[in-house]
Amino acid sequence: MQFNFTKYSIFYYIISGLLIAATIVSLFMFGLKFGIEFVGGSNMEVSFTKMQSSDSISNALKSFNLGEITVQPTGLNGAVLRFKGVDEATHQQILAELNKLTPTTEKSFEYIGPSIGQELRNKTELAIVLALLAITLYIAFAFRKVSKPVSSWKYGIASLVALFHDVLIPIGVFSILGKFFNVEITIPIVAALLTILGFSVHDTIVIFDRIRENILRRGMGQFEETVNWSLNQTLGRSISTVLTVEFVLVSLYFLGGETLKYFALTLIIGITSGAYSSIFIASPLLVSWYKHSLKKQ
């Protein structure tokens, strides 16, 4: 059975277009909630003997002038509290205050000064730019031998479009999670996003490699059929690879504990989106582009 992937490409473009539009709207409306690593502040994970509501916690800590206190419940009777940066003495007083509320054990405490936050942001930005640059160069290099009927830089552009698609969608999800569930963009999530960069291209490369091979084998007539043929050949592999990675990620999401939970979620969204975009966006884009340039001629 052969599936015609490029026949309905307009439809796939619309789906992805809507998702990306939603992401951009959400980014404009809600923005992103960055973790204390990037903006500075304190992060305190505690477990209570008796679960406390976020209001009672905020009330108890009012006198410390901690700015906006966000309380994110974890597990049955734990919570992660985030507030502005405090020194060690204040930290101990806060803990004592919580202890008055209900006996409290502190599981972890983190304080990041504002200068470190700024520095981390710069470093992360640099890492993202370098990664994007390196990936584009690599694709252009890997496909330098294929120039007909679609030139090699177009493969590069198509995979970059897929790449942005795969990174934007999880960012959109986190923008919404941040607004409604206080989920923050932390270092692990950034690491996950950068891994998606690598993984998404990974997927696209395998498909493009097949297209390249089929063009070399079958000649360059009937470009659309060649692309479809290649997609059908690689479909089994695409599904298997994504599934094996998703297995470990889902296991990590449910069993892996708090720090790695959202790290796993980011990867799950990004890798799913990556598998989708390699098949339904990147490859059809090549065909659409080819058709467009035919019309021009």
Q: Per rule CB under 8 A, is residue 190 in the interface with another protein?
A: yes
187 makes contact with another protein (CB under 8 A): yes
The Cα 289–Cα 32 span in angstroms is 34
Binding residues for another protein restricted to 75-114, rule: CB under 8 A: 87-89, 91-92, 105-113
Helix 223-255 and helix 258-277: axis angle, to 10°?
A: 170
* Residue 124 interacting with another protein (CB under 8 A): yes
CA distances (Å), origin 112, targets 34, 81, 115, 120, 278? 13, 14, 8, 11, 39
CB of 123 to another protein, least distance (A): 6
264, amino acid identity: A
Subset of 47-66 contacting another protein (CB under 8 A): none
| Residues 44, 94 contacting (CB under 8 angstroms) | yes
* Shortest distance (Å) from residue 149 CB to another protein: 21
Asked if 194 touches another protein (CB under 8 A), the answer is yes
Which residues inside 145-174 make contact with another protein, applying CB under 8 A?
none
Distance CA 277, CA 260 (A): 25
Please tell me the distance from the alpha carbon of residue 255 to that of residue 123, in angstroms, as a whole number: 31
Site for another protein in 258-297 (CB under 8 A): 258-260, 263-264, 267
Determine, following the binding rule CB under 8 A, whether residue 136 of this chain makes contact with another protein.
no
The token pair at 174 is 């986190």
Q: Give the binding range for another protein (CB under 8 A) out of 172-180, 196-204, 223-231, 274-282.
A: 196-204
Candidate residues 199, 223, 262, 276; the one interacting with another protein per rule CB under 8 A: 199
**Single residue of 99, 214, 233, 272 touching another protein by CB under 8 A:** 233
| Nearer to another protein among residue 8 and residue 141 (C-beta) | 141
Where do runs of H (alpha helix) occur along 34-87? 36-39, 54-60
The reply to whether 216 sits near another protein by the rule CB under 8 A is no
Helix (H) or strand (E) holding 199: helix 187-218
Place of tokens 């582009």: 289
DSSP β-bridge partners for residue 160? none
Q: Does 198 bind another protein (CB under 8 A)?
A: yes
C-alpha 226/C-alpha 170 separation (Å) is: 31
Stretches 25-33, 176-184, 238-246, 282-290: which one binds another protein (CB under 8 A)? Answer: 238-246
Find the binder of another protein among 234, 273, 278, 283 (CB under 8 A): 234
